[in-house]
Amino acid sequence: MPAPRRTQQQRREETRLRLLDATIGCLVEYGFAGTTTQRVQERAGVSRGALLHHFASKADLLAAATHHVAELRLAHIRTETEGGPHDREKGLALLRTAMSGPHFLAGLELWLAARTDPDLRAALLPAERDVGAAQRAVMADIFGPETAAREDFALLCESLLVLHRGLALTSVLREDPTIDDELLRL
């Protein structure tokens, strides 16, 4: 029996997601400066008209990619935490994977570009706040109610997130990957 035909809305959404996924791939492979609309279009396998139908400018595409990256990172965190409380090792491993990999690298490219692009920064802030809130919820679960009730818990969470971001950044030039494990254990 043939598969049911997709609606126009489903085809539009599929094209939009292909463009966003292609943008993330380009950010990871070429960096922010090398992510062009032409590369995204080619990678997504769509026409110029299809790209412009969904995103009138590169700024619109990158703003949408910002939210898409955050949604993918949040989905990963939520999927991994569906089973309830985690022990410390598993929870810290979850945070580590959430703070690495292609989605995280694409996010870093956008963060760096947002430093000098106020519109991109404005698009990035709400999405990153949502990701940060999900990560803090995981940390509250990992460390338990007693630690989560501490007055300095927000600072503890931020310190751990900053450490993870720093490890991800410095891993580009680091030859010994075991240093990450040692720092996280400490």
Residue 56 buriedness (CB in 10 A; 0-12 / 13-18 / 19+): exposed
Tell me the pLDDT of the chain (186 aa) as tens digits.
Answer: 777 888 889 999 999 999 999 999 999 999 999 999 999 999 999 999 999 999 988 888 988 888 888 788 777 777 777 766 566 777 777 777 777 788 888 888 888 898 998 988 888 888 778 877 877 887 887 778 888 899 999 898 888 888 888 888 887 788 887 888 788 777
The closest alpha carbon to 120, from 9, 53, 16, 23, belongs to 23
* Structural element, H or E, at residue 56: none
Find out whether 6 and 14 touch, Cβ atoms under 8 Å. Answer: yes
pLDDT at 79: 78
pLDDT at 46: 97
Contacts of 34 (CB under 8 A, 6+ apart): 26
Token pair listed for 88? 């410390």
As a three-state string, the secondary structure of 77-145 is HHHHHCCCCCCHHHHHHHHHHHCCHHHHHHHHHHHHHHCCCHHHHHHHHHHHHHHHHHHHHHHHHHHHH
pLDDT at 37: 95
pLDDT at 85: 57
pLDDT at 50: 95
Record the pTM: 0.76
Find out whether 60 and 119 touch, Cβ atoms under 8 Å. Answer: no
